[in-house]
Structure 1
């Protein structure tokens, strides 16, 4: 005779189902915490390499003649501030 959640001391389908639900909830919480920490760090500090990369692209555009000296200086000023 089976009582409760399908036998096995209450560790039947409902027990496994509730464990899966709690595991999914835990994984979702950990995922969002990880994403929040990663985004928080990247938004609050612009790395020097990121600025250097943008300045290098700007220098290349100026060297190829895609932008004028005035545009170059204006954009450079925007990037440095």
Structure 2
């Protein structure tokens, strides 16, 4: 599996600090190894997707914000994932 898909999956599932760190390193590796997959990620697309995802989270959901970040990144980068 490529680093982008793996990093996004790990980011969305992260429950510990170490899992979060590992996911971020996977995403960094993807950005380094396959920069063409990251061309859709601009400050505007990131912040728009993040705001949209945050607006959908109920105040009392208890959902960790890292999961919201993962959803936002998947929204922006998902169309670039293979298969």
Q: TM-score, normalised by structure 1?
A: 0.31
Q: Which has the larger radius of gyration?
A: 1
Q: TM-score, normalised by structure 2?
A: 0.30
Structure of greater relative contact order (alpha carbons < 8 Å, 6+ residues apart): 2
